[in-house]
Amino acid sequence: MNCDKLTDKQRKIVDYAGRDDVSTFAVAGSGKTSVLVCSYLKLLELMSSDIEESVSRILVITFTDDAATEIRKRIREVLIEKYKYIGPLNYISTIHSFANEILKRFSIELGINPEYTVGEDYLIAEIMDNAYKEARDRLSPEEIELLDDYLSVIDIGRRSLKSVVFTIYWKMKSSGWTRELTISHLNELKNKIKGNGNEESIVESFIKIFSNFHDIVEKRKRLSGVLSYDDILYYANQLLEKEEIREFFRKKFEYVIVDEYQDTSTLQQEIIDKISRRGRRIFAGDYFQSIYEWRDATPVSTMEFIRRNNFKILIMDENFRSVPSIIDFINKLFSNLFKMNIKEIDYIGIRPTEKELDGAGVFIINVMGSSIEEMRRDEAEKISNIILNIVSKLEIRDRDGELRKINYGDIAILFRKRSGMATYAKALQKKGIRYSFIERGSFFESEEISTIINMLICLRDNTWRDIHNGNAFEVLKFAYDISMEEFIRGSGEIIKKFLRDMEILSSKKDGRKDLLILEFLRLTEYDIKVLKRPDGLQRYLNIYKLIDMAREKEEDGIIGLGRFLDVLMDMKENEDISSIPLFDPMDNSVRLMTIHSSKGLEFPVVFIADLFSKLNYRTGNVIFDRETGIFIDIEDLADTNIIKKIKERMKERDFRENIRVLYVAFTRAKQYLFIGHPETLNEKETFSRLIEDALGREFLMPYIERCNGLISGNEILPKDEKIIDFNIYKIDKFPPDPIFLSVSDIKNYYFCPVYFEKYKLRISNQGEFGTSFHEFMEGVDFLNPPEGVFGDILENILNTNLGSMIIKNKESLKREYPFHIRYRDVIIRGRMDLLIPEEGIIIDYKTGEENEGDKIQMLLYSYAYKKIFGRIPDKCIIYYTKRNEIKEFKFIENDLNYLEEILNKMINSIKYGNFQKNYEKCERCQIRDFCGDLEKQN
């Protein structure tokens, strides 16, 4: 990078670096990353220490893993070029990764197990469920009845109370509120509900159950070392309340650079403020592109913080992306929208630097129809016609300044929600236009990354010799292309090669993880296999992105395989905000994506579709307001005047965010921008209404007339021309025939189809204790139990009737009995802990608490038993080790028919991508808040 080529405005920011606190307001396409890299070099020059020491004293914080990877790559390139430095860059990271470093270093100060992990959803849910039951048991019957009566209007009695408790707990964590502050806000509810004589008792009873629940959950999380992702930020901020820890980091880092500062939450701002020195900070961002307020980002408070702390505010208003005619339209639209709707900040006009391109600019599609669906169909048809009439005909300017014809890969269609995409995809398909869905958060769910992770898990757990192990099966299936016949038979040349390869890899698992993955690829040629597929380049790049990640994670030394997998799990947990859409840049297809997914990207041709749908607003009974605290909106209990004012303020925030979302969409376009606008505006709160109110119908008419020519010039494909194949990358993670499902997959689907679809965590299947106990039971001598915790549990089992049954049948007993059965196009795989085939008895032991999925699991085992042995088992037994209790199930033919109904629904959901939320399970689901966030985004 040549920092001498910066513009005067960019150079001014670099000149101020290190002299004062600087806040850079960088409009879309202004070259912000280049300025931050040059500022980083300037800070290195200001320090007199050697390069390795200087690098370790600059902290760079971003908010996505991909942004961290990009800026780390750019900084590494200039460090190699200027200083020949190839050492570690440990302090360029996301805010979550940095908070994790704080907690890892000082966790003992809070009584947290230093070996903590970010727990699976079911582990966190189990802790919270048990804590709630215990907290509820501490209430008197009168208190429970009082709360149930008043909260039942939210849902149904007891479930509603639990839902409110859970919601307040998670919001407390994400907001950074202490226990005391939260209870103080709850106490204020006494003044926010109608006076009916019971308000004080209601609030006091609620505070009692919440405080008991909070204390139990916190204690169990700290002792077990099972934390949620919100816990990491929350506890890191708590640690920084201590002066000596705060000073440790302030002394450690001479300078702090923060990218995308507008997307920080109040909690994240507190962390950054506590570890940074005054006069040594560079914050960069764009208020206009803050589109995560629904996920606790606080764009207004970030601006207030910058002003309150006397940052030097510098503007980067030059745009190096879009042609002037698009910029002029954007400036006209958003200057009016800001004047009309956003009072706290003046709109900053964008200055174009690109040359105009003949024929390029803004086009408005006149959309007809009397309903949303009719308008979608009309708009989709017209977009398809326009695409056919511009591809290979109109020109765009490439990065090198050369002109070339438009192809499909230059085009993106952006949507506020995913719900309308199918209509547009259908229209494109009908016209023979190649397209692809691009989504966030698909990296760790992709087949190729999951396959490599499963290989690493086999090595970590030393389970690769058992080919019926779920992780080994996934590797055989995808990397070795094993046939079902050979897999079920359990022998053959492919299995022999797999075992030889894994023996080699096992000898190398304690070394560098990037080399371990590369050796796996050398042995299997898996990367070459995926490269040959239609979407192969994207998958190939994904594999080598994982290798780069492995290399970066071990820059300062080799970490254990278990720890490396924990790091990947942490990254997956936060993938919805840490990944950008991954797609093959060479793939010649039109991209369909949400506006949120497009942030940070640019395209020569952009269509913004479905602007006539309603704007997004948050809903819910439990209301959190940053200024005034907690409110519970319940009929006959809440003060409706207060609730109305709070909801109006929240709606105003959401309305402002909708405008910023529109800004992000418009600024993705480089040379051609198409937007749809209805002939008749029927709805009030839509993007289309905002645009027409801001500009007027008369102003829009020339753009509509300009577009009509592109629509009417539709060309028909020649009869002998074949329809071009199209890709839907989203559904590639499920092979069309057959579908492979584990018992856990089916349990998750039974719990909630959306949970199954969004959160199949492949990295780890159960807690460490449970895994170790199952390994112990697989090899232990039942007649001579060893000493220790596991031996004590086995003694408890042997002292029951179940134990007598096990001893009696020890010769015919099957341990860890694997099965693979077929139902329709599905292969169901699983493993029974203990099986007595002749007696028709299946035994399973659980180290956790009982949950409703246990029964469906035993029903699945019964179904498998019947498929294998031709009859329904006599009984299924679960032994709960914690309670030393036994539960028996006996199923009949109707039960098996019910299971097939569940499987049929699941197969259809997978094949057609239709996953319906089970709302009754929401309050028991630890990912409820994030799932709700996805709904708002959708």
**For residues 51 and 44, is the Cβ–Cβ distance under 8 A?**
yes
Q: Is residue 388 part of a domain?
A: yes
Distance CA 627, CA 47 (A): 41
Q: Using DSSP, state whether 105 is helix, strand or coil.
A: helix
Q: Is residue 646 part of a domain?
A: no
What's the burial of 613, exposed, middle or buried (CB within 10 Å: 0-12/13-18/19+)?
Answer: buried
Number of domains in the chain: 5
What pLDDT does 644 receive? 66
Q: Is residue 654 part of a domain?
A: no
Q: Is residue 506 part of a domain?
A: yes
What pLDDT does 626 receive? 52
Tokens for 601?
Answer: 């990207």
296's CB contacts (< 8 A; 6+ apart) are 174, 175, 265, 266, 267
Whether residues 781 and 923 fall in one domain = yes
For 571-618, write each residue's pLDDT tens digit.
665 444 333 344 444 467 899 988 888 887 899 999 999 999 888 765
Whether residues 563 and 593 fall in one domain = no
What pLDDT does 212 receive? 94
Core vs surface per residue 146-173: b (16+ CB within 10 A) or e: bbeebbeebbebebbbbbbbbbbbbbbb
Whether residue 934 is predicted with pLDDT greater than 50 in this model: the reply is: no
Residue span of the structural domain in which 510 resides:
447-578
Q: Which of 471-475, 714-718, 734-738, 811-815 has the lowest mean pLDDT?
A: 714-718
Whether residues 764 and 861 fall in one domain = yes
For 708-722, write each residue's pLDDT tens digit.
878 765 433 333 333
Q: Is residue 35 part of a domain?
A: yes
What pLDDT does 521 receive? 93
Whether residues 277 and 373 fall in one domain = no
At 726, the pLDDT band (50, 70, 90 cuts) reads very low
Name the region of 277 (left: φ>0; alpha: ψ -120 to 50; beta: rest): beta
Residue predicted with more confidence, 643 or 471: 471
Q: Which of 310-319, 419-428, 717-726, 890-899 has the lowest mean pLDDT?
A: 717-726
At 923, the pLDDT band (50, 70, 90 cuts) reads low
Distance CA 604, CA 671 (A): 5
For 82-111, write each residue's pLDDT tens digit.
888 877 787 888 888 899 889 989 998 988
> Nearest 5°: phi and psi at 878?
-115, 130
Whether residues 372 and 395 fall in one domain = yes
Q: Using DSSP, state whether 212 is helix, strand or coil.
A: helix
Residue predicted with more confidence, 467 or 300: 467
> If you average pLDDT over residues 351-367, what whole number do you get?
94
What pLDDT does 496 receive? 92
Instruction: Give CA separation, 567 vs 7, 103, 123, 573, 648, in Å.
Output: 40, 14, 18, 10, 41
pTM attached to this predicted model: 0.60
Distance CA 193, CA 200 (A): 9
What pLDDT does 708 receive? 87
Whether residues 908 and 768 fall in one domain = yes
Peptide bond preceding 738 in cis form (omega within 30 of 0): yes
What pLDDT does 635 receive? 46
Tokens for 906?
Answer: 């699941």
Query: Any bridge partners for residue 258, and if so which?
Result: 61, 283
Q: Is residue 656 part of a domain?
A: no
At 185, the pLDDT band (50, 70, 90 cuts) reads confident
Quote the distance between the C-alpha of residue 618 and its chain's center: 19
Q: Is residue 640 part of a domain?
A: no
What pLDDT does 197 receive? 59
The CATH number for 525's domain is 1.10.486.10
Instruction: Give CA separation, 707 vs 363, 605, 693, 701, 924, in Å.
Output: 5, 14, 21, 10, 51
Whether residues 791 and 898 fall in one domain = yes
**For residues 923 and 163, is the Cβ–Cβ distance under 8 A?**
yes
Tokens for 438?
Answer: 């691009």
Whether residue 517 is predicted with pLDDT greater than 90 in this model: the reply is: yes
> If you average pLDDT over residues 220-241, what whole number do you get?
88
User: What's the mean pLDDT when you consider all of the chain?
Assistant: 81
The CATH number for 757's domain is 3.90.320.10
Tokens for 419?
Answer: 């719900």
What pLDDT does 120 receive? 54
What pLDDT does 400 receive? 81
Q: Is residue 662 part of a domain?
A: no
766's CB contacts (< 8 A; 6+ apart) are none
Which residue's structure tokens are 């002292």? 799
- β strands within 41-177, DSSP E: 58-62, 92-94, 117-118
**For residues 316 and 282, is the Cβ–Cβ distance under 8 A?**
no
What pLDDT does 535 receive? 58
Distance CA 39, CA 315 (A): 15
Whether residues 202 and 266 fall in one domain = no
Q: Using DSSP, state whether 220 is helix, strand or coil.
A: helix
Whether residues 242 and 215 fall in one domain = no
Choosing from 201, 227, 253, the residue where a domain stops is 227
Whether residues 211 and 277 fall in one domain = no
Whether residues 507 and 479 fall in one domain = yes
> Nearest 5°: phi and psi at 834?
-140, 140
> If you average pLDDT over residues 122-149, what whole number do you get?
80
What pLDDT does 217 receive? 92
Total Cβ atoms within 10 A of residue 841: 21
What pLDDT does 330 receive? 96
Alpha helices in 507-594 (DSSP H): 513-524, 526-531, 536-553, 561-573, 575-578
Distance CA 556, CA 542 (A): 23
The CATH number for 395's domain is 3.40.50.300
Distance CA 310, CA 314 (A): 12
Whether residues 780 and 917 fall in one domain = yes
For 797-849, write each residue's pLDDT tens digit.
988 989 999 998 888 888 888 787 878 767 787 889 999 988 899 999 888 78
Which residue's structure tokens are 């009974």? 621
At 724, the pLDDT band (50, 70, 90 cuts) reads very low
What pLDDT does 770 receive? 66
Quote the distance between the C-alpha of residue 861 and its chain's center: 32
